[in-house]
Amino acid sequence: LCELAQLAELDLKNNFLTALPDNFGRLQALVVLSATNNRLRTLPASIGALRCLEDLSVFSNDIESLPQSLSELARLELLYVGSNPRLAALPRNMGRLRQLRILDASGCALTAVPDSLTACTRLTKLWLSKNRIAFLPERWAQMRNLTEIFLQDNDLQILPGSLTKLKLHNFAISGNPLLRTPQDLLSFNTTVACQPGVRRLAELCANVVLVAGIEWEEMHLPVSVCALLRRARHCSVCDGLFFNALTVVALFDMLCVYHRVPVLHVLCPACKIKMARKIESLNALLHS
């Protein structure tokens, strides 16, 4: 099979396959791969070599993990990994899939979504229902093409405030233990003051590393820069990068017109001032 160097489309669905060949990456011309409804437990690491692959479907298998090399599929547009009930995590570098438009990871055992996913700015549909997800990444404002999110039947109590920036057409959140009353939100509200002694140069270096998308964990950087990188946040309102004077505000907001949901806003100092009236109203309601 792997000698078919010009093969562009491969349909392997509805068989009893438990594995794909280790040298599967030799199918350099492959554009569409469907291995839905088999018994696959994983995918070969060599799949990352399929640089022409645009459509990958491994829906309804027994996959327990996905290779990190999956994030090397630079042309991938459609990814269907749903209905793999043992799949507990997506590759941490999902953000490298810059052409990705549809991601279906519903019906798995995911407990979290990798932060890097929000770098997939071409994504239009995200299906994550029937998992065990308790938290979502903070930064969603840059995903301007995202119009559909399905999050039913997870473990979400509160959603990131930046989701309110999206122009969603379809949104589903039923079957989650969402917070219901203003009093429920109180424990989430907090403010962290500026850290003393932060050097401007260190902050500038940290900013350059993050904006450039550098994988800094593998680099030898000064301790002060690493400390800033670990506490870097993006503002829910302006999407600006900041390191200090963190304010977290939980409140109810509207999503997709019809959904009033609890959201958690992480605010930079400037946006905290802009939202002062809304915060004061919330505090008054909480203490009334």
For 232-244, the pLDDT digits (tens) are: 888 888 888 877 7
Using CA atoms, how far apart are residues 238 and 271, in angstroms rounded to an integer? 7
What pairing do the DSSP bridges indicate for beta strands 259-267 and 32-34? unpaired
Report CA-CA distances (Å) from 240 to 12, 73, 121, 133.
Answer: 45, 29, 17, 26
Q: Please tell me the predicted confidence (pLDDT) of residue 218.
A: 59
As a whole number of angstroms, the distance between CA 3 and CA 239 comes to: 48
For 211, the enclosing helix (H) or strand (E) is helix 200-211
User: Which pLDDT tens digit goes with each residue over 48-103?
Assistant: 999 999 999 999 999 999 999 999 999 999 999 999 999 999 999 999 999 999 99
Alpha carbon dihedral 280, 284, 286, 287, in 10-degree steps, equals 130
Amino acid occupying residue 68: Q
Give CA–CA dist 139/115, Å, rounded.
8
Q: How far apart are CA 12 and CA 128, in angstroms?
A: 24
Q: What is the pTM of this model?
A: 0.86
| 118 Rama sector, left if φ>0, alpha if ψ -120 to 50, beta otherwise | alpha
**Element spanning 278, H or E:** helix 276-286
Averaged pLDDT, 246-252: 81
User: What is the average per-residue pLDDT within 25-33?
Assistant: 93
Nearest 5 degrees, angle CA 151-CA 174-CA 79?
Answer: 20
Mean pLDDT, residues 145-157 taken together = 97
User: What pLDDT, on the 0 to 100 scale, is given for residue 7?
Assistant: 92
